Amino acid sequence: MQLEFESGYIPESVFSELELQEFLSQFEIEIPLIPHKILRPLGEREAKEWFGRLSALETQIKRHNIDLECLLATSNSLLLLDELLPFFRDQQLEPYHVFDMGRFLRENANLARQEKSIPLSVKGEICIQISRVLDQNVTEDYSNIRLDAGELELRDSINRFEDKIARELELFEKEIFRQTGLKLIYPYPKEIAKDDTILDRVRDCQHLELSDEGDFFKIVFKLSSRIEKLIADKEAARNHWAGLMEEKLAKVNRDLAGYYSVFSEYYKTRKQRIFDYVLLAAIQKFQLCIPTFSTEPAIKLREGILPKLKGLRTTAYKPLNLDLGPGVNLLFGANMTGKTTVLKTLYFQLTLVKFGLPVPAEKLVLSHPPSIELQLKSSGNMGLGLSGFADEIRFFCKKADPSSVFLIDEMFHSTDPINGVELSKAFLTGLSYNCIYLCTSHYPEVLNIPGIRFFRMKDLEGEINTGDIEKLLKQVPYEVEEITAHEMKRIIRANKKPLLIALQFPLPEKVKMNIQKKINQT
């Protein structure tokens, strides 16, 4: 099963950087019934139904101690009927379609027995009813149309004709060989040189004719009237047979016609159920969680993971814990403390929810986001002819339905600090309180805006003088904590960390001296 996201929703650069396709590969197991699935963004009602169904199924499976691996193994035997359904609808099923349908119903019955305590929402009687029709019309192994004694006799008579014709042709070929010495096989003609010594014998043979092909003669067969009659009789019997079979197949189609709508609904539900099993198996295997929805705009994430980063940092990786409410949430933090990673982790988690997937977290409770927008530090958009600044302004022009989530990295860093502060203030006080904004900023001036929740990335503790950047990165806490505006102002005033961190890099000595001087002054 190949999974992919519907294109156009997730920006390509983010899709690739966050390795969303790699995450999808966790769900890709061999399921013939779902060879390929495109995940589409879900609306609020749809998402609630989707995750509600998945959650209820997970509970039932746990309660009844059902082995998901067994369910998936049986599901693996179900044939894909997508190609067959239009023929079913149009009453144009052929015997090989009936064969596939029969096998599907047989395997589906096995699966339904395993699902006794978790039956599908669409009733399975339709499968029993179709099976009855098939039992009446086709052989037990579904390999052919069921024939009565007269029809079997007619087919046998065609075969007897064939055998008789074969025997007659064998005698015919032997007679040609006796008369000419040529071993010919009907119906293949043979070419012969115009001066061949056997030419006269061929001319004298009543079973052969010569056709002049320019440089050579072609020897063709002249069948006896007896063989010709046998062939004509066989053809007549075959035509009669073809008419009978056409009628028999039409009857199978007529008998099944009334079941199409319900069966196609059942088939759709069956596919959905098997996809649910795939998701639940991945939840078990990779410790994922099913998100739940709140009525008010909020995001509560516990131990949320960005798999790519976890893979890179292994032991040093810290999952994200975050509680966001409606309106503006402003995240401060020194450089290299993980502010952008917070935005990316949240975007990753919310995108999965949007597309109906479980998330790599311990718990996620959120209001369903109609849209999730991420604005990382931009150097502009050449394709649209926008500068970094214009690109950022354009981001804020996007439609903001209630509960939409906007994640913005370093607000208005793209202009001078004086105007950047003014623009930040203007936007932060004017943004909708129905949506959820998480912005990062370095401007202390915005701390005076009322009605904003402030967060900060926990800072490096103790002395920063390792001289080893890798070691330094391992000391970063990568944790978010809520903080008051007052406390944040104090921290910013006392903050010398960017200067101290800069000193850990192999800068020119003159630059280092300047930085050290500034540290000493403050």
Partner 1 sequence: MKTISFIGSDKNAGKTTAMLYVYRMALERSLKNKPVCLASIGINGESVDAYENRAKPSITIMKGSLFVTTGEHVSHLTGQYSVLDTIAGSGFSKSYVLARALTDFSVVLEGPNDRNGVLKMKEAIDQTIADCTCLIDGSIDRQFIGHPLVSDSICFALLLSNRKEQLTKAQDLLQALTLKKAPEQIVDIVAKYEDVGDKSLLIAQNGEVLYQSAEVPFLDQSLREICLIHKNASCTLYLKGSMTRSLHSFFAAFRNLTIVLDNFTLYQNISTRSEATKSFLPDLTLYHSVPLHSLFLKQETLDCPLRLPVEVPVYNLFRENPHAIGI
Our CA angle for 85, 89, 92, nearest 5°, is 90
Q: How far is the CB of 222 from partner 1 (least distance, A)?
A: 18
Task: Compute the half-sphere exposure of residue 452: CA atoms within 13 Å on the CB side of its CA.
Answer: 28
Q: Mask 26-55, x = binds partner 1 (CB under 8 A)?
A: ------x--xx-------------------
Identified binder of partner 1 from the candidate list 64, 167, 183, 226, rule CB under 8 A? 183
Residue 182 interacting with partner 1 (CB under 8 A): yes
Look-up of token digits 């800072």: 459
Smaller CB distance to partner 1: residue 137 or 337? 137
For residue 437, the surrounding DSSP H or E stretch is strand 436-440
Is residue 162 a contact point for partner 1 (CB under 8 A)?
yes
Among 191, 204, 416, 468, binds partner 1 (CB under 8 A): 191
Q: Does 245 bind partner 1 (CB under 8 A)?
A: yes
Sheet strands (E) in 250-403:
292-293, 299-304, 320-324, 327-332, 363-366, 372-375
Window 55 to 84, contacts with partner 1 (CB under 8 A):
79-80, 83
Separation CA 31–CA 28 (nearest Å): 9
Q: How far is the CB of 100 from partner 1 (least distance, A)?
A: 5
Q: How far is CA 250 from CA 139, 255, 313, 448, 504, in A?
A: 16, 9, 65, 80, 83
How far apart are the C-alpha atoms of 522 and 520, rounded to whole Å? 6
Return the number of the residue (29 or 390) whose C-beta is nearest partner 1: 29
382 burial type by CB count under 10 A (0-12 exposed, 13-18 middle, 19+ buried): exposed
Beta strand residue intervals within 278-324, DSSP E: 292-293, 299-304, 320-324
Number of residues that bind partner 1 (CB under 8 A): 44
Show contacts with partner 1 in window 93-152 (CB under 8 A). Answer: 94-97, 99-100, 139, 142-145, 147, 151
Q: Rounded CA gap, 452 and 276, in Å?
A: 40
Nearest to 398 by CA among 358, 371, 424, 359: 371
Q: Are 32 and 76 in contact (CB under 8 A)?
A: yes
Contact flags string 332-361 toward partner 1, x per CB under 8 A: ------------------------------
Shortest Å, Cβ 409 to partner 1: 39
Closer Cβ to partner 1, 17 or 153, answer by number: 153
Q: Which of 207, 248, 354, 453 binds partner 1 (CB under 8 A)?
A: 248
CB nearer to partner 1: pick between 107 and 323 = 107
Lay out the site mask for partner 1 across 204-243 (x = CB under 8 A, - = otherwise). -----------xx---------------------x--xx-
Please, which residues have CB within 8 angstroms of residue 148's CB and are 6 or more apart in sequence? none
Task: Rank residues 177 and 505 by Cβ distance to partner 1 and give the closer one.
Answer: 177
Rank residues 197 and 315 by Cβ distance to partner 1 and give the closer one: 197
Report DSSP state, residue 505.
Answer: S
Q: Does residue 159 interact with partner 1 by CB under 8 A?
A: yes
Kindly state whether residue 186 participates in binding partner 1, applying the rule CB under 8 A: no
Torsion of CA 120, 125, 126, 127, to 10 degrees: 80
Q: Rounded to the nearest whole angstrom, what is the least distance from the CB of residue 158 to partner 1 in the complex? A: 5
CA angle (24 as vertex; 37, 476 as ends), nearest 5: 160
**Residue ranges in 434-493 that form contacts with partner 1 under rule CB under 8 A:** none
Which positions lie near partner 1, rule CB under 8 A?
2, 32, 35-36, 79-80, 83, 94-97, 99-100, 139, 142-145, 147, 151, 155, 158-159, 162, 182-183, 185, 188-193, 196, 215-216, 238, 241-242, 244-246, 248-249
